[in-house]
């Protein structure tokens, strides 16, 4: 069995362990689920590294490599947050999300092909890594928004953090989403800016309204709206509870945009003009 | 606007992240605030502008931008194309309304920044991010107003002092404008470096449309992911050559073949195998001579073929639902098909449909028969093609239920001189020479014996006979260098195992029996690794700058940047240069820097400082 399949299975096991932990809430299960996810992260990282060594270039030159790397970043960002905030149920969905990304990767052409000259740049390295960390954070924010929307009708204020954690006050899922977006947004901005600098070096123009560039701007603007609406809605007599729902829904929509920017651009009629779209060639 | 906490400074992170600890300054209420100022200051306006921009951006990618009017006409039709052009939706990002949006955003940013300006350290991020956007927009305006971007192709050893820019004119037509450079660019050397070839084995499953690279390791059995196919790599040769040798695999006539030589006095003019079941004739076009090899199942059939001039008559088969009957091609004879109400008549035929030459001169490339079908709804005339039996399925026909095909033309065609080599399983061997449609000579033939063809200066010899002709394929190792590698693979699937050599230089895929699974062994390194141009900038006959440019590493001179952008795809003769002048770059880049630092400050540094402050207060 290939490593990628083993990784998928461990992700699934981690996801089950997180659900079990949510039901029993014992300290033992906590370490099992966390351990499984760390294990799958290591496996995923192995995939990234072996691929990089095998191909002889940074492991994100085509869609397959990017997706594997994206999956890796998503768990990495999740683990940071779990370490800091000690989540509960978020881990189950986060590992499912990562598993889906990795599964989607297995459907792609994994042929190693030589990279084109424009991709040989250190700016590209920073550009992709920052972007992937940003996207990873938005993936987690997507998960927390789902949890927020699903749990909202049941409890008064479902808490994301177990009370057992010393010193931290409980935090609700909508605020948690905001914190995660706040973590990811600088990465997104850095990714976009480094991308522009790289484009200037490679193609002579930092911005040429290429579909990929335009959609990355759309993504950035969408999250910018998310960051600014809390200032607007209270002035429009929208109450707090309604506002949280609107923002959570907006985050779901934003993550859709992220995915479209990442893998969906091939469906655009203007895709053939783009220099960035993952080609079939 | 609702007057709720109108003048209270609030930033995003304060509202959501750190509620209840708003220890910042509160401004005294501004009584003189007017409506216009409030409008331009509001975050609501910002959000609305951003949302409109999002919609504009989406439109700008859904509608292909900056194409010629003809292309829009072809894509959307006249009405919608005109609408798009009128609303500037064909050029969203440089349209008047998008520019207006950007100006509005800029005004909003400026007002917002002024209104919320506090001289506190914690405000650094807010000010930097908002100012940076103004800088970037300003840089964009400078680029748009004073920048130029174009390209030029330079041949090795040549010098250029201009470049071309592309532009759509008022009528939506593409236009090239020549721009002069204040210096000359000389291309001293252009190097195109290709990647070392790498080889890989790629599998393809048709039903799931999945491609997957397989590991090439001799002795390795692997399952193709997501399918039931298995691939076993049995051997590998780094530099292989395929040798095919005709062999006789048995003494029973499974695939009879003769090796025929044609001589002119003592020189062999042509020689080769004629296979009774496949390629069974050879045509000498110049001499109008054909040599054919016919295998007849019995002596009677052989005798018949040896005494009739035409081979068998071409046959026309008529089918109506389940019923079918074959008729010999006889022109202008009406055939009534009993019980069906149809009658058919063969009116005309051709060896090469559409060929204006007389029948005898037509090569049998596209034989066809014109059939008249008389039925309940009158007469239908239909051409029927031997090589395209499904033609009528794809074309309108009145009597769709009547299916007509024809056969036997290709082997019927007679040359001026035809030499027929006949053979039957009982050992009878006859050679017939037909000239101008008449049998001139009938003689038995023997192996390795020349027969003169009367009326020509040619002789024919049957040199060898294989009852079961077959190819023995042998793969030989030419060297140990990786040149033309080949792998021996065994494919296993629902229809059992098969084994084959795969050559990296073959253009064809190797298909598994069920035609759903294929393997391709291919070279992948045939792409461009690097391309560099050694450039020299010349001013007043003197070289003022020199650099070897490559992708990601341009040459800059007097505000112009010269980029390596492309190469001559065919011969690698010229170098494609992109020439850009953008005085707005310093402004935009300072904006970029400010933006990056600003967001990092807001989302990382500021919360950290806050926490520290809070702790300090608590202690």
First to last CA, chain A: 28
Residue B500 reports pLDDT greater than 90: no
Q: Which residue of A has its CA nearest to B7?
A: A235
Q: Which residues pair with B154 in a beta bridge?
A: B575
Interchain proximity A221–B563, CB inside 8 Å: no
**Cα–Cα distance between B6 and B28 in angstroms, integer?**
11
Q: Count other Cβ atoms within 10 Å, centred on residue A208.
A: 15
A228 touches chain B (CB under 8 A): yes
Distance CA(A248)–CA(A144), nearest Å, equals 9
- Residue B272 backbone zone (phi > 0: left; psi -120 to 50: alpha; other: beta): left
Q: With 0-12 CB in 10 A as exposed, 13-18 as middle and 19+ as buried, what is A248?
A: buried
Note whether B426 and B300 are within 8 A (CB): no
Contact B182, B559 (CB under 8 A): no
The mean pLDDT of A47-55, rounded to a whole number, is 90
Q: Which of B92, B290, B153 is nearest to B567 (CA)?
A: B153
Are the C-beta atoms of residues A198 and B616 closer than 8 Å to each other? no
The CA distance from B567 to B154, in Å, is: 9
Q: What is the pLDDT of residue B411?
A: 58
DSSP state of B447: B
> Percent of chain B at pLDDT above 70?
91
- Using a CB–CB cutoff of 8 Å, tell me whether A119 touches chain B: no
Measured distance between the N- and C-terminal CA atoms of chain B, rounded to whole angstroms: 42
- Residues B41, B115 contacting (CB under 8 angstroms): yes
CB contacts, 8 Å: A189 with chain B: 595-596, 599
- Closest residue on chain B to A247 (Cα): B16
Q: pLDDT of A198-249, one tens digit each?
A: 999 888 889 989 899 999 999 999 999 999 999 888 888 888 888 999 999 9
Beta carbons within 10 angstroms of residue B434's beta carbon: 21
- Rounded distance, CA B153 to CA B148, Å? 17
**CA separation for the pair B280, B264 (Å, rounded):** 22
pLDDT of residue A281: 28
Task: Nearest by CB to B592, from A186, A197, A203: name it.
Answer: A197
Query: Residues A243-281: pLDDT tens digits?
Result: 999 999 999 999 999 999 998 887 787 766 665 655 432
Can you list the positions of beta strands (E) in B51-158? 148-155
CA distance B430 to B441: 10
Hey, how many other C-beta atoms are within 10 angstroms of the C-beta on B407? 18
Chain B residues in contact with A231 (beta carbon < 8 A):
10-12, 15, 43
Q: Residues of A numbered 32-91 whose beta carbons fall under 8 angstroms of chain B's beta carbons: which are they?
A: none
Is B50 an 8 Å CB contact of chain A? Answer: yes
Q: Taking a contact as any Cβ pair under 8 Å apart, which residues of chain B between 508 and 567 contact chain A?
A: 524-525, 527-531, 550-554, 561, 563, 565
User: B58 touching A, CB under 8 A?
Assistant: yes
Q: What is the distance between the alpha carbons of residues B129 and B101, in angstroms, rounded to a whole number?
A: 19
pLDDT digits (tens, 9 = 90+) for B519-550: 988 877 557 778 899 999 999 989 999 999 98
Q: What CA–CA distance (Å, rounded) separates A191 from A181?
A: 15
Rounded-to-integer distance, Cα B533 and Cα B186, Å: 10
Instruction: Report the distance separating Cα B240 and Cα A158, nearest Å.
Output: 68
Flag whether residue B270 sits within 8 Å of chain A, measured between CB atoms: no
| Alpha carbons B130 and B477: distance in angstroms, whole number | 69
Is pLDDT above 90 for B6?
no
Q: pLDDT-derived band of residue B399, with 50, 70 and 90 as boundaries? A: confident
* Chain B contact for A269 (CB, 8 A cutoff): yes
Taking only the tens place, the pLDDT of each residue in B544-586 is: 999 999 888 899 999 999 999 888 877 778 899 999 999 999 9
Give the whole-angstrom CA distance, residue B130 versus residue B135: 9
Per-residue pLDDT of B80-103, as tens digits, reads 999 998 899 998 999 999 999 999
Residue that wins the pLDDT comparison between A166 and B602 = B602
A131, pLDDT greater than 90: yes
**Which residue reads 């002092």 in tokens?**
B161
To test the contact with chain A by mutation, choose from B552, B556, B563, B580 the residue with the greatest count of A C-beta atoms within 10 A, namely: B552
Q: Residue ranges of the alpha helices (H) in B238-381? A: 299-307
Which span out of A132-146, B256-270, B434-448, B495-509 was modeled with the highest average pLDDT?
A132-146
DSSP reduced 3-state for A182: helix
Instruction: Describe the strand order of the beta sheet including B199-205 as a list of residue ranges.
Output: B210-214, B199-205, B517-523, B510-511
Give yes or no for residue B67 having a pLDDT over 90: no
Least Cα distance to B122 among B603, B515, B591, B616 occurs for: B603
Comparison of pLDDT for B291 and B32, the residue scoring more: B291
At residue A43, does pLDDT exceed 90? Answer: yes
Planar angle of CA B96, B101, B102, nearest 5 degrees: 100
Distance from CA of B240 to the nearest CA of A (A): 23
Range picked from B75-84, B92-101, B244-253 for highest mean pLDDT: B92-101
pLDDT score at B319: 83
The string of pLDDT tens digits covering residues B435-487 is: 877 788 888 888 888 888 887 888 889 999 998 888 887 888 888 888 788 99
Say if A276 is an interface residue toward chain B (CB within 8 Å).
no
Q: Reading across the β-sheet that carries B402-407, which strands appear in turn?
A: B323-328, B315-320, B402-407
As given in the structure block, the two tokens for residue A200 are 């200037």
* Spatial distance between the Cα atoms of B27 and B218, rounded to a whole number of angstroms: 78
The mean of the pLDDT values for chain B is 83
The pLDDT score that the predictor gives to residue B199 is 84
> How far is B282 from B259, CA to CA, in rounded Å?
11
Average pLDDT, chain A: 86
pLDDT of residue A79: 92
Q: Which pLDDT does position B605 carry in this prediction?
A: 94
**B590 burial level (CB within 10 Å; 0-12, 13-18, 19+):** middle
Contacts of A227 in chain B (CB under 8 A): 12
Q: Does the reported pTM lie above 0.90?
A: no
C-beta separation of B344 from B374 below 8 A: yes
Mean pLDDT of A148-154: 84
Q: Where are the domains of chain B?
A: 150-194+527-581, 196-246+475-525, 315-412
Q: Which residues contact B373 (CB under 8 A, 6 or more apart)?
A: B342, B343, B344, B379, B380, B381, B382, B398, B399, B402, B404
Q: Environment class of residue A215 by beta-carbon count within 10 Å: exposed (0-12), middle (13-18) or buried (19+)?
A: buried
CB B132 within 8 A of CB B594: yes
For the record, the structure tokens of A32 come out as 């099992």
Q: What is the pLDDT of residues B190-237, one digit of tens each?
A: 988 877 777 888 888 888 878 888 888 888 888 887 788 999 999 999
pLDDT value at residue A172: 82
| Inter-chain residue contact B65 with A268, CB threshold 8 Å | no
CA dist., res. A194 & res. A165, Å (int): 38
Where residue B8 falls among pLDDT bands split at 50, 70, 90? very low
Residue B279 has pLDDT above 60, yes or no: yes
Listed by start position, the domains of chain A span: 1-115, 122-275
Among B314, B318, B313, which Cα is nearest to B407's?
B314
Candidates B532, B512, B487; CA nearest to B189 is B532
Place of tokens 């204040």: B182
Q: Which two tokens stand for residue B79?
A: 């009405």
- Print the SS3 string covering B450-463: EEECCCCCEEEEEE
């Amino acid at each position: 069995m290939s490593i990628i399949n083993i990784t998928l299975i461990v992700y699934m096991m981690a996801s089950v362990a997180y659900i079990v932990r949510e039901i029993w809430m014992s300290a033992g299960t906590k370490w099992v689920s966390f351990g499984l996810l760390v294990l799958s992260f290591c496996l995923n990282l192995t995939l990234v590294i072996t691929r990089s060594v095998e191909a002889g270039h940074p492991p994100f030159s085509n869609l397959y490599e990017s997706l594997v790397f994206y999956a890796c970043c998503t768990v990495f960002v999740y683990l940071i947050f779990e370490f800091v905030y000690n989540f509960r149920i978020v881990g189950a969905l986060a590992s499912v999300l990562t598993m889906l990304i990795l599964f989607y990767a297995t459907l792609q052409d994994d042929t190693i092909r030589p990279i084109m000259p424009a991709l040989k740049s250190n700016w590209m390295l920073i550009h992709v890594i920052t972007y992937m960390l940003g996207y990873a954070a938005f993936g987690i924010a997507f998960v927390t928004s789902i949890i927020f929307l699903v749990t909202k009708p049941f409890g008064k204020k479902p808490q994301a953090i177990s009370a057992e954690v010393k010193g931290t006050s409980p935090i609700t899922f909508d605020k948690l989403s905001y914190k995660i977006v706040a973590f990811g947004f600088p990465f997104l901005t850095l990714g976009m800016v480094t991308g522009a600098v790289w484009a200037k070096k490679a193609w002579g123009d930092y911005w040429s309204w290429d579909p990929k560039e335009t959609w990355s701007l759309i993504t950035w603007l969408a999250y910018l709206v998310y960051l600014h609406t809390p200032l607007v809605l209270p002035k429009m007599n929208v109450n707090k509870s309604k506002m949280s729902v609107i923002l959570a829904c907006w985050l779901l929509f934003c993550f859709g945009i992220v995915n479209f920017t990442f893998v969906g651009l091939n469906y655009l009629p203007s895709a053939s003009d783009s220099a960035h779209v993952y080609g079939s060639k | 606007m609702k007057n709720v906490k109108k003048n209270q400074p609030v930033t995003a992170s304060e509202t959501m992240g750190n509620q209840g600890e708003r220890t910042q300054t509160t401004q005294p209420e501004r009584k003189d605030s007017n409506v216009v100022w409030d409008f331009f200051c509001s975050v609501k306006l910002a959000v609305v502008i951003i949302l409109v921009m999002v919609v504009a951006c989406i439109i700008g990618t859904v509608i292909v931008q900056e194409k010629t009017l003809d292309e829009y006409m072809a894509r959307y039709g006249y009405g919608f194309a005109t609408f798009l052009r009128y609303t500037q939706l064909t050029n969203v990002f440089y349209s008047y309304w998008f520019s207006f949006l950007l100006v509005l955003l800029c005004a909003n940013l400026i007002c917002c920044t002024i209104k919320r300006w506090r001289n506190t350290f914690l405000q650094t991020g807010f000010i930097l991010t908002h100012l940076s956007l103004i800088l970037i927009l300003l840089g964009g305006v400078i680029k748009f107003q004073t920048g130029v971007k174009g390209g030029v192709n330079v041949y090795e050893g040549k010098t250029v002092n201009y470049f071309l820019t592309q532009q759509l004119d008022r009528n939506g037509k593409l236009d090239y404008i020549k721009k002069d450079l204040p210096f000359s660019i000389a291309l001293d050397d252009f190097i195109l470096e290709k990647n070392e070839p790498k080889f890989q084995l790629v599998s393809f499953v048709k039903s799931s449309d999945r491609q997957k690279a397989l590991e090439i390791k001799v002795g390795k059995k692997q399952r193709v992911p997501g399918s039931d196919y298995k691939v076993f790599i049995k051997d590998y040769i780094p530099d292989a050559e395929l040798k095919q040798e005709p062999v006789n695999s048995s003494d029973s006539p499974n695939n009879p073949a003769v090796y025929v030589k044609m001589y002119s006095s003592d020189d062999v003019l042509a020689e080769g195998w004629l296979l009774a079941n496949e390629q069974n004739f050879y045509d000498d076009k110049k001499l109008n001579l054909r040599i054919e090899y016919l295998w007849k199942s019995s002596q009677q059939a052989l005798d018949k073929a040896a005494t009739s001039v035409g081979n068998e008559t071409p046959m026309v088969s008529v089918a109506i639902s389940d019923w079918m009957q074959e008729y010999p091609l006889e022109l202008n004879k009406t055939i009534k098909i009993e019980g069906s109400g149809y009658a058919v008549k063969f009116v005309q035929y051709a060896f090469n449909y559409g060929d204006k030459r007389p029948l005898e001169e037509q090569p049998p490339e596209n034989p066809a028969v014109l059939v008249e079908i008389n039925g309940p709804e009158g007469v239908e005339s239909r051409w029927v093609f031997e090589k395209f039996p499904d033609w009528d399925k794809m074309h309108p026909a009145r009597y769709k239920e009547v299916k007509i095909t024809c056969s036997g033309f290709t082997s019927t065609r007679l040359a001026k001189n035809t030499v027929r080599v006949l053979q039957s399983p009982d050992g009878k061997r006859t050679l017939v020479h037909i000239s101008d449609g008449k049998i001139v000579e009938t003689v038995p033939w023997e192996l390795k014996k020349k027969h003169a063809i009367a009326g020509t200066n040619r002789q024919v010899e049957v040199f060898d006979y294989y009852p079961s002709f077959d190819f023995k394929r042998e793969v030989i190792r030419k060297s140990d260098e990786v040149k033309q590698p080949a792998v021996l693979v065994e494919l296993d699937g629902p229809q059992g195992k098969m084994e084959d050599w795969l050559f990296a230089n073959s253009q064809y895929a190797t298909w598994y029996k069920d035609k759903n699974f294929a393997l391709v062994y291919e070279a992948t390194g045939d792409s461009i690794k690097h391309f560099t141009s050694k450039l020299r900038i010349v001013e007043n006959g003197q070289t003022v700058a020199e650099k070897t440019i490559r992708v990601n590493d341009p040459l800059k001179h007097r505000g112009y940047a010269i980029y390596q952008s492309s190469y001559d795809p065919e011969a690698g003769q010229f170098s494609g240069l992109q020439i850009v002048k953008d005085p707005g770059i310093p402004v935009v880049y300072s904006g970029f820097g400010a933006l990056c630092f600003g967001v990092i400050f807001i989302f990382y540094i500021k919360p950290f400082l806050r926490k520290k402050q809070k702790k300090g207060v608590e202690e």
